[in-house]
Structure 1
Amino acid sequence: MPKGIFDTAPVIAEMGIDIIVIGAGLSGLASALALCKAGHNVTIIDKRDVSQPWKGAGGCRIPPNLVKIIRRWGLGEEFAKKALPLESLHMLRFETGEFLGQHEWAEEMLREAEGDYELIEYQDLWNIFYKGAQDYGATFMMNTTVTSVDPHALEVTLADGRILAADLFIGADGPQGLTRKLLSDDIEQTPSDGCVMYEAMIPADRVRDVPELKSLGLGQKDINKIMLFLGEGLCMHLFPVSGRDAFAMQLCVGPDMIPAGEPEGSWGDAPSVRIADKLPKNVEPRIKKLAEYAEPAVRVRSENTRLSTWVHSTQRLIVIGDAAHPFPPGAQQGSALAVEDAAVLGKLFTYLKVDDQIGNFLWAVQELRQDRCEKCLQEEYDLYVFLTLRQGEMQEVRDAEMRLKHESGRTDLRQGEDVAAKQWEELRTVYAYDCEDEADNWWIEWGLLRERARERNEFYNTTPIRQPVIQQSVRSV
């Protein structure tokens, strides 16, 4: 076990299996780390060259439920070097720059959630999980394309003709990936058409001394805050990353504001868009000025589609993260729930004793995760609707309630009975969730019952148990 990765010695499964993870994004890396921790042999395959930085990856808002896992897994020290603790959320009108109010996270809520709210560049977050997976023994096959997955034969075929075999396949290759397509018959289209986000980075030295931008508080000694601009049919987040040496700019456009013929786009695409070209005519002057200094942006388009099942009928393939439940781009819970999926997967597979348990554990992951992910997904879309209200009665009520709270000196939007308070109270329950506790509870309530039933069966009693495998390997066919 690598020194310093985990605070306590991990529980190792009695039976170690060979696992192939397809996709080296955040969910893939977290899965590899958690499953290696559980004593399994994990190989990650990705077509990307990891020696090169992610293209247009931008910034991440990391909620307490993810920070909690990062620290629990022993990655907190490296995370603290790169992340900025969020101190406040400022809300302004997109068209005028009017200050509507601010929100500060109550200390008791963060204590309950066992984490803080942090800001980090995606590349830095990815590097932390990559290093953790490496240190724990995962094998990486990069610059390698998987052309087919056959869960029946327990094989994957690579572009160069090689065929690899494993006991289990984890699909972590995103919403357009190969593994999600294996379950495509079970995709459900919801009424919402999704949204488009344009994300760009702004080097701080370009904007720090611009007179028109001084009032935004972009200096090195200013507080770490998210500036959330609320507009008609769109919204924008602006927040610092990389020790305040850069700012992430995320412009999210709702379905009725997407220009006709707008191309598709996904994470990993080369930045190809100027945010300044995507701004409406009626825009706050400081936003326009910021956009002029921004680097080229990546375009990410999402469709609100959902899988009925995450588990293949063979019970040897499961999809997780964006391959299972694509979140709108820039959603605060997108990365968090992807890592939660991995954490539950790793926790359950610490209890693996016999091959027959694999399918039960995969269905348990879906049982534990699907409702939460769909609920959070709906809340994210509801939040986007709330932030991008068109001019009218609902928008006027929302803004008036924010102004009233600000004028009365209230900085906790959970207070009160208005719409904003209800939105933030829902987030509180999301932050306090502990996915690994849920997995342990499932094992105690259901897994042990099945295990005892298995032990009473003479067939299983005579089935040899494989010893833990220390050296990772992928079998070549």
Structure 2
Amino acid sequence: MTTNTRRVLVIGGGTAGSAATVLLRRAGLDVDLIEARPDWNATAGSGITLQGNALRVLRKLGVWDQVQACGYAFDEVGLTTPDGAVLHVQADIRTGGPDLPGTVGMQRPKLQQILIEAVRASGARIRLGVTAQSLDQDADEVSVTFSDGESARYDLVIAADGLHSATRAMIGIDTAPEPTGMAIWRTPAPRPASVTRTDLAYGGPCFIAGYCPTSESTIYAYLVEALRDRSTLDPASYAEHMRELAAGYGGAWPEIAASITDPAQVNYTRFDRMLLDGPWHRGRVVLIGDAAHTCPPTLAQGAALSLEDALVLAELLSGDQPWDEELLSGFAERRVARVRPVVEASVQLGQWQLDGVRDADAPGLIYRTLAPLAARP
């Protein structure tokens, strides 16, 4: 690989940061990646739903074969009553094209490990347990001081440090995620033989009860409820509490609920929304992924949009255009046009439930939002 003289720092080794690192190294750029967590988030999370437009980028990264081998592919989603009766089965929109599945469910740690291995194989310099403490810019470079006392200069810094991005604040962008009024309980679980796709039940004790197969032997299950103060709920009771909520559902849920016994496996988080309307950069520091936008998982597009950010930015940086204001402003404008409808629709789907709207055209909104994602980002 011929190394480009330009040097890039990627802050954050999650989905967006890892993808950007691999793609920029493939283009011959000199890339450093820092990740705050010493374990590189290798074991965090229960499951993830990857729609076709996410799979398209993962194929571009060269990891599709591993994803396909570790995950569970399916092409439809079921809508059920709380007692488990199937009301409707809808074919997934193949947003990645006809040669990729509509959806692949995966254990999130499996995806992270695949991306870690791809980053390591790319030849990027990796430093774990390290953060950026200061960013000092001039017209041509960014001087970065790190938490371990080291410093270096870069032609560009890509901040992929997540929803609560420290970099976003460091460069003077005060936009922050806002709660939507919903929260979600998640847990991994063994896969009942009857579970071969995502099924969603609306109503019952929660707004949504759903699950997604993540391998031949596993699923992740989730229950969406109104956001409330859970600070007084002992984490040791999380499994018991999720079982109590799951008891209101039939179909595969009794078998799933019986397996929810480890409170350490149960995660409770709120739904947030955020979209940077203006430029996603200041000088030579640019935000991507959850640092620039986030939405509730009602359309399962969070990881896909982050992967697309990495792909589009890497393509722009690998071209002949100067790394200037025009390039970075154009990147954000291009991405906002694609991201905004997803963020707004994801929030609207939840708001209809919060407001008790019973005649909302949810299927129509979902189709209108997801169908355009089949086009290249």
Q: Same fold (TM over 0.5)?
A: yes
The code of the aligned residue for 2:338 comes to: R
Determine if contact 1:275/1:291 at 8 Å carries over to the other structure: no
Partner residue in 1 for 2:241: 277
> What does 1:385-424 correspond to in 2, within 5 Å?
385-386=351-352, 388=353, 394-395=357-358, 397=359, 419-424=361-366
> Between Structure 1 and Structure 2, which shows a larger proportion of strand residues?
2
1:91 to 58, 79, 98: 79
* SS of equivalent to 2:294: coil
State yes or no: 1:193 paired with 2:180.
Answer: yes
Change (3 A) 1:38 1:428: same
Secondary structure at the counterpart of residue 22 of structure 2: helix
Provide the rounded CA distance (Å) in 1 between the counterparts of 2:220 and 2:177. Answer: 31
C-alpha distance in structure 2 between counterparts of 1:188 and 1:177, whole Å: 9
Percent of residue pairs identical: 21
Q: Give the match for residue 135 of structure 2.
A: 149
Alpha-carbon shift at residue 362 of structure 1 (Å): 1.6
The verdict on how the C-alpha distance between 1:142 and 1:328 changes in structure 2, with shifts beyond 3 A counting, is same
2:350 to 374, 379, 384: 384
Against the structure 1 CA distance between its residues 89 and 273, is the aligned structure 2 distance closer, same or farther, given a 3 Å change threshold? farther
Cα distance between partner residues in 2 of 1:313 and 1:258: 34
Per-residue Cα deviation, 1:219-263 (whole angstroms, up to 9, x for no partner): 2xx562112121266212212113x2111012222xxx2223548
How has the CA–CA distance of structure 1 residues 240 and 112 changed in structure 2, closer, same or farther, with 3 Å as cutoff?
Answer: closer
Task: Supply the distance in 1 between the matched residues of 2:181 and 2:344 (Cα, whole angstroms).
Answer: 11
Cα distance change on mapping 1:194 and 1:303 into 2, 3 Å: farther
Letter in 1 for 2:149: G
Please point out which of 330, 350, 361 is paired with 2:318.
350
Encode CA deviations 1:252-289: one digit per residue, 9 max, x unaligned: 22xxx22235489xxxxxx8662541555982256466
Of 282, 303, 309, 1:335 maps to 303
State the Cα distance separating 1:428 from its structure 2 match.
4.1
Match of residue 225 from structure 1: 197
- Tell me, yes or no, if the aligned pair for 1:23 and 1:171 is still in contact at 8 Å: yes
Within a 5 Å distance, the mapping from 1:112-191 to structure 2 comes to 116-152=102-138, 154-183=142-171, 185-187=173-175
Pick from 225, 228, 252 the counterpart of residue 224 of structure 2: 252
In structure 1, the residue matched to 2:27 is 38
The aligned amino acid for 1:340 is E
* Per-residue deviation, 1:292: 4.3
Decide which of 55, 65, 69 is 2:53's aligned counterpart.
65
Note the alpha carbon deviations across 1:163-206, whole angstroms, 9 max, x for none. 2221111111111121121355452777x6353222111134xx
Please give the alpha-carbon distance, in whole angstroms, between the structure 1 residues aligned to 2:125 and 2:16: 16
The structure with the larger Rg is: 1
Aligned-partner SS, 2:296: coil
SS in 2 for 1:21: strand
The letter for the 1-side match of 2:203 is G
Change (3 A) 1:363 1:202: same
Q: Does 1:103 align with 2:90?
A: yes
Aligned residues: 368
TM-score, reference length from structure 1: 0.69
In structure 1, the gaps of 5 or more residues are 2-11, 205-217, 265-270, 399-418, 436-477
- CA root-mean-square deviation: 3.1
Cα distance in 1 between the residues matched to 2:350 and 2:332 = 26
Offset of residue 140 of structure 1: 0.8
1:7-62 deviation per Cα after TM superposition (whole angstroms, max 9, x unaligned): xxxxx89x53111111100000011011112221111101212377322x111111
Kept in 2: contact 1:186–1:309 (CA 8 A): no
Where 1:224 maps in the other structure, the secondary structure is: coil
Q: Which moved more, 1:25-34 or 1:69-78?
A: 69-78
User: Does structure 1 retain, via aligned residues, the 8 Å contact 2:50–2:105?
Assistant: yes
Aligned to 1:311: 280
In the aligned structure 1, how far is the partner of 2:77 from the partner of 2:93?
A: 12
Alpha-carbon separation, structure 2, partners of 1:158 and 1:141 = 10
Q: Which residue of 2 aligns with 1:362?
A: 328
Equivalent residue in structure 1 for 2:341, among 375, 393, 396: 375
Question: Secondary structure of 1:193's match?
Answer: strand
Aligned to 2:257: 291
1:301 aligns with 2:270: yes
C-alpha distance in 2, partners of 1:67/1:229? 26
**Quick one: structure 1 residues 58 and 310, their matched pair in 2 at CA, closer, same or farther if it must change by over 3 Å?**
farther
Read off the aligned partner of 1:105 and give its amino acid letter: D
Bigger mean CA offset, 343-352 vs 377-386: 377-386
Give the CA deviation at 1:430: 3.6
- Give, in angstroms, the shift of residue 366 of structure 1: 0.5
* Equivalent position amino acid for 1:360 in 2: E
Q: CA deviation at 1:133?
A: 2.2
The answer for the alignment partner of 1:406 in structure 2 is none
Matched, 1:323 2:291: yes
Report the TM-score when normalising by structure 2. 0.85
Gaps of 5+ in 2: none
Give 2:145's aligned amino acid: T
1: CA distance between counterparts of 2:146 and 2:66? Answer: 34
d(CA) in 2 for partners of 1:105, 1:189: 29
CA distance in 2, matches of 1:179, 1:150: 12
